[in-house]
Amino acid sequence: MVSIVFFIIIINIMYIGIDRGVTGAIAFLTDRGFSIVDIPIFLDEKRKKKLINSVSLLDIVKRKLFLLLKEKAEESQEIIVGIEPYLSRGVSSSQAVWGAAYQEGVFDHLFMNNLTYVYPAQWKKYYGLLHADKEESIEKAIELFPSAKEFLILKKHHNRAEALLIANYLRKK
């Protein structure tokens, strides 16, 4: 007698979109909803510049991933992380390049070299935002995620909107 056993594996995927920079944001998107956080920063007194607070960032990411694992303990999890690469616009100072390299190191370490580079032209073209201003990113994010409106009320929240759009772009492609 032959027995046939079927295993059903449900894969829950978390998409993480990162709009980099000291005014940036990170969006966590699953089939159950989303969460958006501003990238935590601190003032480096020596250099007189704002830098990513990697300890706080690690804590935030660990808490978000723990919630995913706790909710879906019997299921398989996958994490897909998208980040805009650092793109120099014209001549960059050595400080700007250093800051970008620092951020790259923080995110590479945090996500164990599992970053997918999502160029602005890719995701903006997908949403029809190629030559749009930052406010249009906010409008598009609210259109796709109406409950995000309360987190995207100010003009400066375009980073949050763009992080959410990057995460959603990863989910849709």
Which tens digits make up the pLDDT trace of 46-99? 877 887 787 888 888 888 777 766 665 555 568 889 998 876 455 567 766 776
Tokens standing for residue 112: 């164990």
Q: Is residue 69 part of a domain?
A: yes
Q: Is residue 126 part of a domain?
A: yes
Q: Is residue 1 part of a domain?
A: no
Q: Based on the structure, what is the number of domains in the chain?
A: 1
How many angstroms separate the Cα of 159 from the Cα of each of 17, 21, 29, 156?
A: 10, 9, 15, 7
Q: Is residue 59 part of a domain?
A: yes
Q: 134-161: b or e for each residue (b if 16 or more CB lie within 10 Å)?
A: eebbbebbbeebeebeebbeeeebbbbb
Model pLDDT for residues 115-163, shown as the tens digit of each residue? 888 999 999 999 999 999 999 999 999 999 999 999 999 999 999 999 9
Q: Is residue 3 part of a domain?
A: no
Q: Is residue 2 part of a domain?
A: no
Q: Is residue 152 part of a domain?
A: yes
Q: Give this prediction's pTM.
A: 0.82
Task: Determine the Cα–Cα distance for residues 31 and 10; give it in Å rounded to an integer.
Answer: 12
Domain that holds residue 129: 11-16+24-172
Task: Determine the Cα–Cα distance for residues 115 and 108; give it in Å rounded to an integer.
Answer: 7
Q: Is residue 83 part of a domain?
A: yes
What is the CATH classification number for the domain harbouring 74? 3.30.420.10
Model pLDDT for residues 8-43, shown as the tens digit of each residue? 444 578 899 999 877 889 999 988 889 999 988 888
Tokens standing for residue 82: 């998208």
Q: How many CA atoms lie within 13 A of 142 on its CB side?
A: 14
